[in-house]
Amino acid sequence: MAERIGSTLKSLEFYRNKASDSSSVTSIEGEQDLPREIDDLIDNKMYRRKFRALIRRGHLQDLLDLAEVAGGKDKPSHWFARATRTTPVPGNESKPTFWERSLRFLAKLRKVRRIAQEVGQRIKVPADSVNAVFKAAWKHNEGAVRMAVTAAETGKKHPFGLFCTLALKKLDTQAV
């Protein structure tokens, strides 16, 4: 019996020492600061804990990408707050939350960026016409790459003009 009490006390002492170790204690002061791009978009600083939790779950790059997109909006902080809402809207509990919708949007945005980069590698795109490539990539997905290949092979003098004709003028060529 005495041995049992002694081993219990030793284990309690071990845990007490472990808990008092400053490297393992996580307090509000010990938590990492949010990146400045994200923190500037948070109007109510009480929600910092939510964003720290999202970062711990591995969504730092998602938050940074949303902060970048929010920069082009009329009210960036309002748009960012809405896009990162993790709770369902009352009355729409069966629908995806704004955060889930934002994650799907970011996945598509990354895919469109990759496709636009691939189109840019295949044909020479003027600097002032990059938005046309993004529009075509958003509209046609992988079909934009096929159109860029066709334009590079067929339109020897003006492949970008042919790409625009194929991608932006034809409405019936949407790829699946």
pLDDT digits (tens, 9 = 90+) for 18-36: 444 545 444 444 456 889 9
Answer yes or no: do 40 and 76 share one domain: yes
Say if residues 65 and 112 touch (Cβ distance below 8 Å): no
Answer yes or no: do 113 and 174 share one domain: yes
Residue 116 domain flag: yes
Say if residues 117 and 133 touch (Cβ distance below 8 Å): no
Residue 6 domain flag: no
Total structural domains in the chain? 2
Sign of the Cα pseudo-torsion (37, 118, 120, 167, in order) = negative
Answer yes or no: do 74 and 130 share one domain: no
Residue 18 domain flag: no
Lowest mean pLDDT among 38-47, 138-147, 167-176: 167-176
Instruction: Give the domain extent around 59.
Output: 32-84
| Residue 64 CB coordination number (10 Å) | 14
- Predicted TM-score of the model (pTM): 0.71
| Residue 98 CB coordination number (10 Å) | 18
pLDDT digits (tens, 9 = 90+) for 85-125: 999 989 988 999 999 999 999 999 999 999 999 999 989 88
Residue 25 domain flag: no
Answer yes or no: do 76 and 115 share one domain: no
Answer yes or no: do 78 and 132 share one domain: no
Residue 89 domain flag: no
